[in-house]
Structure 1
Amino acid sequence: MLKPKIEQHIKTFKGDQVALHKEEKEYVEKHQLLEGGMTIVEKDAEARFTDAYIERSDKEFENLIAVETSEFLHQPLTFLKTNKKEFIYLESKWFELIGVDAVSLEVDDLFGTYEALLGLKLQKKYDKVIRSYLQAELQGENAKFALIFSAEDGLWNFNFSLNDVKGFTEDMTIGEAYQFIYQFLFKLMEEIEEK
Protein backbone atom coordinates (compact mmCIF):
# COMPACT_ATOMS: atom_id res chain seq x y z
CA MET A 1 0.00 0.00 0.00
CA LEU A 2 2.07 2.93 1.24
CA LYS A 3 5.45 1.26 1.07
CA PRO A 4 5.57 0.56 -2.70
CA LYS A 5 4.17 4.00 -3.51
CA ILE A 6 6.67 5.79 -1.28
CA GLU A 7 9.53 3.68 -2.64
CA GLN A 8 8.44 4.64 -6.16
CA HIS A 9 8.30 8.31 -5.13
CA ILE A 10 11.86 8.13 -3.76
CA LYS A 11 13.08 6.73 -7.09
CA THR A 12 11.96 9.92 -8.84
CA PHE A 13 14.77 11.86 -7.14
CA LYS A 14 18.18 12.20 -8.73
CA GLY A 15 21.32 12.56 -6.64
CA ASP A 16 21.76 11.89 -2.95
CA GLN A 17 18.95 14.04 -1.52
CA VAL A 18 15.26 13.21 -1.22
CA ALA A 19 12.80 16.03 -0.46
CA LEU A 20 9.89 14.72 1.63
CA HIS A 21 7.20 16.16 3.85
CA LYS A 22 7.09 15.24 7.55
CA GLU A 23 4.71 12.26 7.22
CA GLU A 24 6.65 10.60 4.41
CA LYS A 25 9.99 11.42 6.07
CA GLU A 26 8.96 9.70 9.31
CA TYR A 27 7.60 6.73 7.36
CA VAL A 28 10.82 6.37 5.34
CA GLU A 29 12.94 6.55 8.50
CA LYS A 30 10.72 4.09 10.38
CA HIS A 31 10.87 1.54 7.55
CA GLN A 32 14.47 2.31 6.55
CA LEU A 33 13.61 2.83 2.89
CA LEU A 34 16.59 4.98 1.90
CA GLU A 35 19.55 3.43 0.16
CA GLY A 36 23.06 4.16 1.43
CA GLY A 37 24.29 7.71 1.15
CA MET A 38 20.88 9.28 0.55
CA THR A 39 19.67 12.01 2.89
CA ILE A 40 16.23 13.50 3.47
CA VAL A 41 15.47 17.19 3.16
CA GLU A 42 12.19 17.96 4.92
CA LYS A 43 9.80 20.07 2.87
CA ASP A 44 7.58 22.73 4.39
CA ALA A 45 4.05 21.45 5.09
CA GLU A 46 2.59 24.57 3.48
CA ALA A 47 4.17 23.57 0.16
CA ARG A 48 2.36 20.21 -0.07
CA PHE A 49 -0.55 21.42 -2.18
CA THR A 50 1.12 24.17 -4.24
CA ASP A 51 0.61 22.18 -7.44
CA ALA A 52 -2.88 20.90 -6.58
CA TYR A 53 -5.89 21.29 -8.84
CA ILE A 54 -8.51 23.28 -6.90
CA GLU A 55 -12.12 24.04 -7.78
CA ARG A 56 -14.83 26.00 -6.01
CA SER A 57 -18.29 24.78 -6.94
CA ASP A 58 -21.94 25.29 -6.11
CA LYS A 59 -23.24 22.55 -3.77
CA GLU A 60 -26.75 22.37 -5.17
CA PHE A 61 -25.97 21.83 -8.86
CA GLU A 62 -22.19 21.22 -8.67
CA ASN A 63 -21.62 24.06 -11.13
CA LEU A 64 -18.05 25.29 -11.30
CA ILE A 65 -17.61 28.75 -9.78
CA ALA A 66 -13.85 29.07 -10.24
CA VAL A 67 -10.63 27.12 -10.69
CA GLU A 68 -8.34 28.46 -7.97
CA THR A 69 -4.58 28.74 -7.61
CA SER A 70 -2.73 27.54 -4.53
CA GLU A 71 -2.98 31.11 -3.17
CA PHE A 72 -6.62 30.30 -2.37
CA LEU A 73 -5.39 27.82 0.26
CA HIS A 74 -4.29 30.80 2.40
CA GLN A 75 -7.95 31.80 2.87
CA PRO A 76 -9.34 31.17 6.36
CA LEU A 77 -11.35 27.96 6.67
CA THR A 78 -14.30 30.08 7.78
CA PHE A 79 -14.58 31.06 4.09
CA LEU A 80 -16.79 27.96 3.83
CA LYS A 81 -19.13 29.21 6.57
CA THR A 82 -19.41 32.57 4.83
CA ASN A 83 -20.04 30.78 1.52
CA LYS A 84 -22.18 27.84 2.71
CA LYS A 85 -23.52 27.13 -0.77
CA GLU A 86 -20.04 26.28 -2.03
CA PHE A 87 -17.64 23.37 -1.68
CA ILE A 88 -13.95 23.05 -2.46
CA TYR A 89 -12.62 20.15 -4.54
CA LEU A 90 -8.88 19.41 -4.45
CA GLU A 91 -6.86 16.86 -6.46
CA SER A 92 -3.22 16.26 -5.60
CA LYS A 93 -0.45 13.76 -6.30
CA TRP A 94 -0.11 13.54 -2.51
CA PHE A 95 -3.65 12.22 -2.12
CA GLU A 96 -2.92 9.74 -4.93
CA LEU A 97 0.11 8.56 -2.94
CA ILE A 98 -2.17 7.49 -0.07
CA GLY A 99 -4.91 5.99 -2.23
CA VAL A 100 -7.36 8.91 -2.26
CA ASP A 101 -8.72 10.20 -5.55
CA ALA A 102 -9.57 13.75 -4.39
CA VAL A 103 -11.01 15.50 -1.34
CA SER A 104 -13.97 17.86 -1.21
CA LEU A 105 -14.48 20.13 1.76
CA GLU A 106 -17.72 21.84 2.73
CA VAL A 107 -19.80 23.02 5.67
CA ASP A 108 -22.77 20.80 6.57
CA ASP A 109 -25.96 22.82 6.04
CA LEU A 110 -27.73 21.36 9.07
CA PHE A 111 -25.00 21.02 11.71
CA GLY A 112 -22.53 23.69 10.56
CA THR A 113 -19.62 21.24 10.80
CA TYR A 114 -16.73 20.98 8.35
CA GLU A 115 -17.09 17.84 6.25
CA ALA A 116 -14.46 16.02 4.19
CA LEU A 117 -15.81 13.89 1.32
CA LEU A 118 -13.55 11.54 -0.59
CA GLY A 119 -13.06 8.25 -2.36
CA LEU A 120 -10.71 5.82 -0.62
CA LYS A 121 -9.06 3.30 -2.96
CA LEU A 122 -9.05 0.22 -0.76
CA GLN A 123 -10.52 -3.23 -1.11
CA LYS A 124 -13.74 -4.10 0.69
CA LYS A 125 -11.87 -6.54 2.97
CA TYR A 126 -10.44 -3.58 4.94
CA ASP A 127 -13.86 -2.63 6.30
CA LYS A 128 -13.19 -3.66 9.92
CA VAL A 129 -9.74 -2.03 10.07
CA ILE A 130 -11.06 1.25 8.66
CA ARG A 131 -14.02 1.34 11.05
CA SER A 132 -11.83 0.42 14.02
CA TYR A 133 -9.44 3.28 13.20
CA LEU A 134 -12.31 5.75 12.85
CA GLN A 135 -13.93 4.70 16.12
CA ALA A 136 -10.59 5.10 17.91
CA GLU A 137 -9.58 8.39 16.30
CA LEU A 138 -12.83 10.34 16.03
CA GLN A 139 -13.80 12.11 19.23
CA GLY A 140 -17.10 12.39 20.99
CA GLU A 141 -20.13 10.19 21.43
CA ASN A 142 -21.75 11.73 18.38
CA ALA A 143 -18.70 11.50 16.12
CA LYS A 144 -20.08 10.98 12.66
CA PHE A 145 -18.79 9.44 9.48
CA ALA A 146 -20.23 7.68 6.46
CA LEU A 147 -18.35 4.79 4.91
CA ILE A 148 -19.94 2.90 2.01
CA PHE A 149 -18.16 0.57 -0.39
CA SER A 150 -19.01 1.03 -4.06
CA ALA A 151 -18.41 -2.22 -5.94
CA GLU A 152 -19.03 -0.34 -9.19
CA ASP A 153 -16.17 2.12 -8.54
CA GLY A 154 -14.05 -0.24 -6.44
CA LEU A 155 -13.60 2.32 -3.70
CA TRP A 156 -15.00 3.52 -0.40
CA ASN A 157 -17.16 6.63 -0.42
CA PHE A 158 -16.00 8.17 2.82
CA ASN A 159 -17.27 11.30 4.56
CA PHE A 160 -16.27 12.52 8.00
CA SER A 161 -16.53 15.62 10.12
CA LEU A 162 -13.27 17.45 10.74
CA ASN A 163 -14.82 18.78 13.95
CA ASP A 164 -14.60 15.24 15.37
CA VAL A 165 -10.87 14.82 14.71
CA LYS A 166 -8.55 15.58 17.63
CA GLY A 167 -6.56 18.75 17.03
CA PHE A 168 -9.03 20.37 14.62
CA THR A 169 -9.64 24.07 15.00
CA GLU A 170 -11.75 26.43 12.95
CA ASP A 171 -8.84 28.91 13.03
CA MET A 172 -7.03 26.94 10.30
CA THR A 173 -6.56 28.15 6.77
CA ILE A 174 -8.06 26.06 3.98
CA GLY A 175 -4.56 24.77 3.20
CA GLU A 176 -3.98 23.79 6.83
CA ALA A 177 -7.32 21.96 6.85
CA TYR A 178 -6.30 19.96 3.77
CA GLN A 179 -2.93 19.19 5.38
CA PHE A 180 -4.84 18.09 8.53
CA ILE A 181 -7.02 15.79 6.40
CA TYR A 182 -3.92 14.38 4.71
CA GLN A 183 -2.29 13.58 8.08
CA PHE A 184 -5.45 11.84 9.28
CA LEU A 185 -5.67 9.73 6.11
CA PHE A 186 -1.93 8.97 6.09
CA LYS A 187 -2.25 7.55 9.62
CA LEU A 188 -5.26 5.50 8.47
CA MET A 189 -3.21 4.02 5.63
CA GLU A 190 -0.35 3.22 8.02
CA GLU A 191 -2.81 1.49 10.36
CA ILE A 192 -4.20 -0.61 7.51
CA GLU A 193 -0.72 -1.53 6.30
CA GLU A 194 0.27 -2.73 9.78
CA LYS A 195 -2.79 -4.99 10.17
Structure 2
Amino acid sequence: MLNKQMTNYIANNVNNNEIELNNFEKVYAEKHQLVPQDVTIVDKGFHTSVIERCNKETEEVIRTETDNFLNESASYLKKNLNEFLFVESNTFEIIGVDGIALEFDDVFETYTALFGLKLQKKYGPAIKAFLDTHLQGDNTKYSVMFSGEDGLWDMNFALSYIEGFNDELSFEQVLKMVYLFIFKLSEAVEDDK
Protein backbone atom coordinates (compact mmCIF):
# COMPACT_ATOMS: atom_id res chain seq x y z
CA MET A 1 0.00 0.00 0.00
CA LEU A 2 1.26 3.49 0.80
CA ASN A 3 4.51 2.30 2.37
CA LYS A 4 5.29 0.10 -0.64
CA GLN A 5 4.36 2.83 -3.11
CA MET A 6 6.48 5.43 -1.28
CA THR A 7 9.40 2.97 -1.17
CA ASN A 8 9.09 2.37 -4.93
CA TYR A 9 8.76 6.09 -5.66
CA ILE A 10 11.89 6.88 -3.66
CA ALA A 11 13.87 4.02 -5.21
CA ASN A 12 12.93 5.10 -8.74
CA ASN A 13 13.28 8.87 -8.31
CA VAL A 14 16.54 9.45 -6.46
CA ASN A 15 18.65 11.67 -8.69
CA ASN A 16 22.15 12.87 -7.72
CA ASN A 17 21.53 11.64 -4.16
CA GLU A 18 18.40 13.81 -3.90
CA ILE A 19 14.72 12.91 -3.71
CA GLU A 20 11.88 15.38 -4.18
CA LEU A 21 9.17 15.07 -1.51
CA ASN A 22 6.57 17.51 -0.28
CA ASN A 23 6.18 18.19 3.45
CA PHE A 24 3.73 15.43 4.36
CA GLU A 25 5.53 12.86 2.16
CA LYS A 26 8.77 13.82 3.92
CA VAL A 27 7.18 13.35 7.37
CA TYR A 28 5.84 9.94 6.30
CA ALA A 29 9.17 8.86 4.75
CA GLU A 30 11.13 9.91 7.84
CA LYS A 31 8.65 8.24 10.20
CA HIS A 32 9.04 4.96 8.29
CA GLN A 33 12.76 5.43 7.56
CA LEU A 34 12.30 5.11 3.80
CA VAL A 35 14.99 7.54 2.63
CA PRO A 36 18.59 6.25 2.66
CA GLN A 37 20.93 8.30 4.89
CA ASP A 38 23.06 9.49 1.96
CA VAL A 39 20.00 10.94 0.14
CA THR A 40 18.93 14.55 0.67
CA ILE A 41 15.24 15.48 0.63
CA VAL A 42 14.40 18.55 -1.45
CA ASP A 43 11.01 20.28 -1.78
CA LYS A 44 8.92 18.83 -4.58
CA GLY A 45 6.99 20.94 -7.03
CA PHE A 46 3.75 19.82 -8.63
CA HIS A 47 4.45 18.12 -11.96
CA THR A 48 1.80 16.94 -14.41
CA SER A 49 1.99 14.71 -17.46
CA VAL A 50 -1.54 15.33 -18.81
CA ILE A 51 -3.95 18.25 -18.39
CA GLU A 52 -7.12 17.95 -20.46
CA ARG A 53 -10.32 19.94 -20.59
CA CYS A 54 -13.01 17.45 -21.55
CA ASN A 55 -16.68 17.47 -22.54
CA LYS A 56 -18.85 16.06 -19.71
CA GLU A 57 -21.32 14.32 -22.02
CA THR A 58 -18.95 12.73 -24.52
CA GLU A 59 -15.72 12.68 -22.46
CA GLU A 60 -13.94 13.89 -25.61
CA VAL A 61 -10.93 16.13 -25.13
CA ILE A 62 -11.78 19.75 -25.85
CA ARG A 63 -8.20 20.89 -25.45
CA THR A 64 -4.92 19.72 -23.96
CA GLU A 65 -3.59 22.42 -21.66
CA THR A 66 -0.16 23.41 -20.37
CA ASP A 67 0.77 23.73 -16.69
CA ASN A 68 -0.15 27.43 -16.89
CA PHE A 69 -3.84 26.44 -16.99
CA LEU A 70 -3.52 25.14 -13.42
CA ASN A 71 -3.23 28.78 -12.29
CA GLU A 72 -6.87 29.25 -13.32
CA SER A 73 -9.32 29.28 -10.38
CA ALA A 74 -11.57 26.28 -9.80
CA SER A 75 -14.56 28.56 -10.45
CA TYR A 76 -13.72 28.03 -14.15
CA LEU A 77 -15.71 24.78 -13.93
CA LYS A 78 -18.82 26.56 -12.64
CA LYS A 79 -18.58 29.01 -15.53
CA ASN A 80 -18.09 26.17 -18.05
CA LEU A 81 -20.65 23.61 -16.91
CA ASN A 82 -20.15 21.35 -19.94
CA GLU A 83 -16.47 20.72 -19.05
CA PHE A 84 -14.43 18.73 -16.58
CA LEU A 85 -10.69 18.83 -16.00
CA PHE A 86 -8.62 15.63 -16.12
CA VAL A 87 -5.07 15.63 -14.74
CA GLU A 88 -2.42 12.90 -14.62
CA SER A 89 0.78 13.19 -12.63
CA ASN A 90 3.51 10.71 -11.77
CA THR A 91 3.17 12.04 -8.21
CA PHE A 92 -0.23 10.34 -8.04
CA GLU A 93 1.50 6.92 -8.26
CA ILE A 94 2.37 7.25 -4.58
CA ILE A 95 -1.30 7.25 -3.61
CA GLY A 96 -2.37 4.60 -6.13
CA VAL A 97 -4.21 6.96 -8.48
CA ASP A 98 -3.59 7.34 -12.22
CA GLY A 99 -5.52 10.56 -12.73
CA ILE A 100 -8.00 12.91 -11.09
CA ALA A 101 -11.02 14.52 -12.72
CA LEU A 102 -12.48 17.73 -11.31
CA GLU A 103 -15.94 18.99 -12.21
CA PHE A 104 -18.77 21.17 -11.03
CA ASP A 105 -21.96 19.19 -10.37
CA ASP A 106 -24.71 21.64 -11.32
CA VAL A 107 -27.44 19.41 -9.82
CA PHE A 108 -25.96 19.41 -6.30
CA GLU A 109 -24.01 22.66 -6.88
CA THR A 110 -20.74 21.19 -5.61
CA TYR A 111 -17.25 20.81 -6.96
CA THR A 112 -16.36 17.13 -7.21
CA ALA A 113 -13.17 15.06 -7.47
CA LEU A 114 -13.40 11.69 -9.25
CA PHE A 115 -10.68 9.03 -9.43
CA GLY A 116 -9.89 5.34 -9.22
CA LEU A 117 -8.00 4.25 -6.10
CA LYS A 118 -5.82 1.14 -6.21
CA LEU A 119 -6.67 -0.54 -2.91
CA GLN A 120 -7.95 -4.03 -2.25
CA LYS A 121 -11.67 -4.60 -1.80
CA LYS A 122 -11.21 -5.58 1.85
CA TYR A 123 -10.35 -1.96 2.73
CA GLY A 124 -13.86 -0.70 1.95
CA PRO A 125 -14.94 -0.21 5.59
CA ALA A 126 -11.73 1.72 6.42
CA ILE A 127 -12.14 3.94 3.34
CA LYS A 128 -15.76 4.76 4.20
CA ALA A 129 -14.89 5.39 7.86
CA PHE A 130 -12.18 7.87 6.79
CA LEU A 131 -14.58 9.70 4.45
CA ASP A 132 -17.29 9.83 7.12
CA THR A 133 -14.80 11.30 9.60
CA HIS A 134 -12.91 13.74 7.35
CA LEU A 135 -15.53 15.18 5.01
CA GLN A 136 -17.18 17.98 6.98
CA GLY A 137 -20.69 19.33 6.50
CA ASP A 138 -24.37 18.56 6.39
CA ASN A 139 -25.43 15.93 3.87
CA THR A 140 -21.81 15.13 3.03
CA LYS A 141 -21.73 13.67 -0.45
CA TYR A 142 -19.45 10.91 -1.64
CA SER A 143 -19.65 7.72 -3.66
CA VAL A 144 -17.37 4.73 -3.24
CA MET A 145 -17.77 1.55 -5.26
CA PHE A 146 -15.34 -1.29 -5.87
CA SER A 147 -14.89 -2.37 -9.49
CA GLY A 148 -13.83 -6.01 -9.63
CA GLU A 149 -13.07 -5.54 -13.34
CA ASP A 150 -10.39 -2.92 -12.73
CA GLY A 151 -9.48 -3.82 -9.14
CA LEU A 152 -10.07 -0.16 -8.25
CA TRP A 153 -12.28 1.81 -5.93
CA ASP A 154 -14.25 4.22 -8.11
CA MET A 155 -14.51 7.26 -5.87
CA ASN A 156 -15.94 10.71 -5.99
CA PHE A 157 -16.56 13.25 -3.28
CA ALA A 158 -17.63 16.85 -3.00
CA LEU A 159 -14.62 19.12 -2.55
CA SER A 160 -16.81 21.57 -0.68
CA TYR A 161 -16.59 19.25 2.33
CA ILE A 162 -12.79 19.32 2.54
CA GLU A 163 -11.56 21.84 5.08
CA GLY A 164 -10.13 24.91 3.36
CA PHE A 165 -11.72 24.43 -0.06
CA ASN A 166 -13.19 27.36 -1.94
CA ASP A 167 -13.60 27.89 -5.66
CA GLU A 168 -11.19 30.82 -5.78
CA LEU A 169 -8.30 28.41 -5.21
CA SER A 170 -6.29 27.62 -8.32
CA PHE A 171 -6.59 24.19 -9.92
CA GLU A 172 -3.05 23.48 -8.72
CA GLN A 173 -4.02 24.29 -5.12
CA VAL A 174 -7.14 22.13 -5.40
CA LEU A 175 -5.19 19.20 -6.86
CA LYS A 176 -2.64 19.46 -4.05
CA MET A 177 -5.52 19.49 -1.55
CA VAL A 178 -7.07 16.39 -3.14
CA TYR A 179 -3.68 14.67 -3.25
CA LEU A 180 -3.11 15.36 0.46
CA PHE A 181 -6.62 14.10 1.28
CA ILE A 182 -6.06 10.82 -0.62
CA PHE A 183 -2.57 10.47 0.92
CA LYS A 184 -4.06 10.78 4.42
CA LEU A 185 -6.84 8.35 3.47
CA SER A 186 -4.23 5.81 2.28
CA GLU A 187 -2.20 6.31 5.46
CA ALA A 188 -5.30 5.80 7.64
CA VAL A 189 -6.25 2.64 5.76
CA GLU A 190 -2.70 1.33 6.15
CA ASP A 191 -2.71 2.11 9.89
CA ASP A 192 -6.12 0.40 10.23
CA LYS A 193 -5.05 -2.98 8.82
- What's the TM-score, normalizing by structure 1? 0.93
Once the 2 structures are TM-superposed, how far is the Cα of residue 146 of structure 1 from its aligned partner?
0.5
Once the 2 structures are TM-superposed, how far is the Cα of residue 34 of structure 1 from its aligned partner?
2.0
Listed as ranges, the matches of 1:50-65 within 5 Å are 51-65=48-62
Partner of 1:23: 24
Once the 2 structures are TM-superposed, how far is the Cα of residue 74 of structure 1 from its aligned partner?
0.5
Once the 2 structures are TM-superposed, how far is the Cα of residue 189 of structure 1 from its aligned partner?
0.6
Listed as ranges, the matches of 1:12-51 within 5 Å are 12-43=13-44, 47-49=45-47, 51=48
Note the residue ranges of structure 1 that are not aligned, 5 or more in a row: none
Secondary structure, in 3 states, of the residue corresponding to 2:98? strand
Asked whether the equivalents of residues 148 and 157 of structure 1 are also in contact (C-alpha less than 8 Å), the reply is yes
Corresponding position: 1:115 with 2:112? yes
Once the 2 structures are TM-superposed, how far is the Cα of residue 100 of structure 1 from its aligned partner?
1.1
Count how many residue pairs are aligned between Structure 1 and Structure 2: 191
Letter in 2 for 1:172: L
Partner of 1:7: 7
Secondary structure, in 3 states, of the residue corresponding to 1:110? coil
Asked whether the equivalents of residues 5 and 96 of structure 2 are also in contact (C-alpha less than 8 Å), the reply is no
Once the 2 structures are TM-superposed, how far is the Cα of residue 101 of structure 1 from its aligned partner?
2.1
Listed as ranges, the matches of 1:82-93 within 5 Å are 82-93=79-90
Partner of 2:122: 125
Listed as ranges, the matches of 1:85-164 within 5 Å are 85-164=82-161
Farther off after superposition, 160-169 or 16-25: 16-25
Letter in 1 for 2:127: I
Note the residue ranges of structure 2 that are not aligned, 5 or more in a row: none
Asked whether the equivalents of residues 70 and 171 of structure 2 are also in contact (C-alpha less than 8 Å), the reply is yes
Once the 2 structures are TM-superposed, how far is the Cα of residue 155 of structure 1 from its aligned partner?
0.8
| Alpha-carbon distance in 2 for matches of 1:9, 1:97 | 7
Letter in 2 for 1:102: G
- What's the TM-score, normalizing by structure 2? 0.94
| Alpha-carbon distance in 2 for matches of 1:24, 1:54 | 23
| Alpha-carbon distance in 1 for matches of 2:178, 2:95 | 12
| Alpha-carbon distance in 2 for matches of 1:9, 1:63 | 31
Identity of aligned residues (%): 43
| Alpha-carbon distance in 2 for matches of 1:150, 1:19 | 33
